[in-house]
Structure 1
Amino acid sequence: MKALVAVKRVVDANVKVRIKPDHSGVDLTNVKMSINPFCEIAVEEAVRLKEKGIVSEIVIVAVGPKEAQEQLRSSMALGGDRSILVETNHDDLGALEVAKILKGIALEEKPDLILLGKQAIDDESNQVGQMLSALLGSGQATFASEITVNGDKVQVIREIDGGLQTIELTQPAVITADLRLNEPRYVKLPDIMKARKKPLDVKTPADYQVTVATKLKTIAVENPPERQAGIRVNSVDELVDKLKNEAKVI
């Protein structure tokens, strides 16, 4: 059984982002970059399935700049067997274009299981997994908190607004990882050294007949407004009055 895992290069979750002076985007100068946390969870899940003898090969994929090789090597240090970088420096690469590239890779690799993070912490779009499933015509399970493989069936417990939902998919299937699916392991130095020798192929979007152009355009990027200090009220009536007449939420 082959697993294909997509990862994204993003600003490290512990870094406070800076907005460019012209508000055209985020300033990435000398900023630490990492694997998107949800993507790292997807990699960890594939590795755990391999350790159980269910998955035989893990292929890691990234779409992004040349520097994304760093995140691919980190993913292989976690347990990936080989990786593919679809190199592009297009800043406004949309979710649909990424999904089309992943579709091309999936048609070549023919994986039984495709794992992704449910969303990236930079654009928070939460679209690629769903779009990829639609393009491939395969089953999908988003926001997975537990994955169980039984033969050619995959049972997924997913998080929904009302609680938990259990669904069953037929392979090949697309699954997006939620926060509670697992906790990624700490990478050891020997694994990092081994990852340097693992195969890493470099492709371009044109290799998958994808034109890197999106209809989405970033108009401006702004910092969120500073949170105002709260106030103390002396009675329930005063609270209701402020919620109704000042905050206008009721």
Structure 2
Amino acid sequence: WLMQDHGWTFDQQQGSSGDHLDGLQYLHQRYTEDDPHYTGRVTVPVLWDKQEKRIVNNESAEIIRIFNTAFNALTGNALDLYPEPLRPTIEALNERIYPAVNNGVYRAGFATTQDAYEAAFDDVFNELDHLEALLERNRYLAGEYLTEADIRLFTTLVRFDAVYHGHFKCNLRRLSDYHNLSNWLRELYQWPGVADTVNMEHIQKHYYMSHKTINPNGIVPKGPLQDFTQPHDRQRLPGKGIWQA
């Protein structure tokens, strides 16, 4: 989770799970193992091919698509987060949500002018208001099925109150102030296996200790109190789970 002078670290003493493939110390070594002459940005996530020893992809929007189908023949997976009939709806959601929310919180947090910050801030909350209204009538973003659009939004909103509200100054409202969004978030968190992917200690420490231009002393707040295991009310709306391919 820690990203400082040498970028993302695999140091287990800093709370990383370590690099169990080659015992590397930093993620940048994975990039230069692929290309010894690489001098560009080192970003996460990284999808690594252990046989070819190459980076397959480092763009989250593309990796989620890869995982949706690429290994179906090996795993027998029949679940489809990007079903053909819902693709136009999913694409339209992604086109709204990514710039306004997924990237909007970063545009607000790293803004260097008041005008840029306020423009991003407005984008974030205008879209959250839109999504709150959408989830009043839809169980999931695209309707009755949980899709890629929900997963992409979840990863941002599960961090919202703990990080973006304070650290990135997106503080008009907390996510917990939105009835539908907060209940939707709890439902997704409670899906089998999802909670295991969320480490709030890593989330908070990464942002507050890695972004020294925003938080130079690296102080990590003790709050807020959150419990994503509390009951939700999403069963009031019709839902069919994940599309079966």
Q: Same fold (TM over 0.5)?
A: no
TM superposition score normalised by structure 2: 0.27
Q: Which has the higher contact order (CA 8 A, sep 6+)?
A: 1
* TM-score after normalising by structure 1: 0.27
Q: Which has the higher helix share?
A: 2
| Structure with more of its chain in strand, by fraction | 1
Give the number of the structure whose alpha-carbon radius of gyration is greater. Answer: 1
